[in-house]
Structure 1
Amino acid sequence: MKSKTQMYVVTAFAAAIIAVLAQISIPLPMGVPITGQTLAVGLVVTILGTKYGSLAVLVYILLGAIGMPVFSSMSGGIGVLVGPTGGYIIGFLAQAFIQGLYMDKFGYTYVHAIISNLIGMVITLAFGTAWLKVALSISWEAAFMGGVYPFIILGIVKAVAAAYFGIIVRNRLLSQQLIPSLKY
């Protein structure tokens, strides 16, 4: 991979993957659905690393912020970002950056991919829960009940799946020289 333009195309494709998986959505009572977004973010960062993984998440968030229907249930706009789920969406960017830094430092192996994806899950849940509390003016207990507990088991499953499939895809892209092997 010699071209930054090629990496920007891969990054745009990764943002599109996040948008597509965001449409897998199971509504829950508190207004925060179970979605494929967290799986997609973990997968993208495991494949692309800090720089391009974070950029893909940023592109996804910006597309949604300007009104493109890329968030769950084909929603978009600033209203989503300031609504009950906005903290989770902003948390994806922190997840991408920290998860990518972890993998850049410790390596792109299955074990480190699982650990980094679990760390990413906790980061997203922390951002989301804090914002859920503020957006809905509810207690911390209610925010945890609606914003963390329903997502723990499935979040672990998604983190492991993102790590497993992300490493497979990353290794295949590396072997075909479609992404650079050096840290970005």
Structure 2
Amino acid sequence: MQTKVFHYTLTAFCAAIIAVLAQITIPLPLVPITGQTLAIGLVVTILGLKFGTYAVILYVCLGAFGLPVFQLFTGGFGILVGPTGGYILGFIPTALVIGLYLKWFGTTFKHAVIANLIGMFITLLFGAAWLKIAANLTWGAAFLSGIAPFIIVGIIKGVIAAWLDVIVRERLIHARMLEKLT
């Protein structure tokens, strides 16, 4: 029982970390650069498939129900049907794929980088597809405004998430707080 409480508390804490990092924003015309994707990669890489995905689902649900957890302290269902909604909804399959990849190949720095890069592209594809619909763009315009500006920063975020994972995971394992989590 005590272990379940710890895991669910850690999951909620990680959903809060995603909400905090979502407030780090660099504005762009249609879709800003935020700390959300870094947080998604970091949380799933540390918590693993099950609890990492739970944390992401909790974050998305909190925002959908109106809590101001999305970028610029926004929330509500309207955000999910707006231009950035595809990215936010794409966080869930991103978490699943990152978690599955790491479950299959192990959580080493190399695999954490690969998993986070795959996750970045999943988020970008969901986001651009929805941006095409929500903003009534052509596929070319959706690519230019919804994917291209985020590739380099996404690679950087993927490496940072993997690097931080190595540090945090090592400390949590040393403190015997993570051994049964993933």
Fold match, TM over 0.5? yes
CA distance in 2, matches of 1:147, 1:182: 34
CA distance in 2, matches of 1:119, 1:2: 34
**1:50-65 equivalent positions in 2, closer than 5 A:** 50-65=49-64
- Residue segments in structure 2 that go unaligned for 5+ positions in a row: none
2:85 matched residue in structure 1: 86
CA distance in 2, matches of 1:27, 1:42: 21
- How many residues were matched structurally? 182
1:182 deviation in Å?
A: 6.1
Give the TM-score taking structure 2 as reference length: 0.97
Amino acid at match of 1:122: F
Point out 4+ residue stretches in structure 1 off by more than 4 angstroms: none
1:167 deviation in Å?
A: 2.0
**1:107-122 equivalent positions in 2, closer than 5 A:** 107-122=106-121
CA distance in 2, matches of 1:6, 1:148: 37
Amino acid at match of 2:16: A
CA distance in 2, matches of 1:172, 1:71: 29
Relative distance call for 1:79 and 1:182 in structure 2 (3 A) is closer
**Match status 1:6 vs 2:6:** yes
CA distance in 2, matches of 1:18, 1:99: 16
**Please, what is the CA RMSD of the aligned residues?**
1.2
**Match status 1:129 vs 2:106:** no
Question: Which string of whole-angstrom CA distances, capped at 9 and with x for unpartnered residues, describes residues 110-169 of structure 1?
Answer: 000000000000000010000000111110000001000100101000000001101211
Amino acid at match of 1:50: L
1:180 deviation in Å?
A: 3.0
Question: Which string of whole-angstrom CA distances, capped at 9 and with x for unpartnered residues, describes residues 3-51 of structure 1?
Answer: 111000000000000000000011111x210000000000001100000
**1:6-85 equivalent positions in 2, closer than 5 A:** 6-29=6-29, 31-85=30-84
**Match status 1:149 vs 2:148:** yes
